[in-house]
Structure 1
Amino acid sequence: MSAHPLPKISAPASRALAGAGITTLEQAAAYGQAALLQLHGFGPQGIGILREALAGLGLELAD
């Protein structure tokens, strides 16, 4: 399976993901919702954007 880039997301959320070493949708999916929400600058809106992008690939967040 190829890696898919992260969707367009707010700057704080992008920085939060980059700081955690998350650069692809697959990495975000494996990280899980609860862990993503613990990242400073990442919130419910970012979860919604990721869920939508993942659904398009037939994937979902780990939790």
Structure 2
Amino acid sequence: MTSHPLPKISAPAARALEGAGIATLEQAAEYSEAGLLALHGFGPSGIVILRAALTELGLELAD
């Protein structure tokens, strides 16, 4: 399976994802919106960016 890097995102959001062990879009898709928003430093604008990148790959966030 091919893995796709995370899109350009704010530094705090990138640190939050890194801290949670999320390094690819496929890994991000395993999380729900609420789960990502619970990460310190990750906010609503990060969700918008991730959703757009996931949509391009035919993926979406978990329920």
TM-score bracket for the superposition, by shorter chain length: over 0.9
Over the residues paired in the alignment, what is the CA RMSD in angstroms? 0.6
Give 5+ residue unaligned stretches, structure 2: none
SS of residue paired to 2:30: helix
TM-score by length of 2: 0.96
1:18 matched to which residue of 2? 18
In 1, Cα distance between equivalents of 2:54 and 2:16: 18
Give 5+ residue unaligned stretches, structure 1: none
Superimposed CA distance per residue, residues 5-53 of structure 1 (whole angstroms, 9 cap, x where no aligned partner): 0000000000000000000001001022111000000010000000000
Give the counterpart letter for 2:25 in structure 1.
L
Aligned length: 63
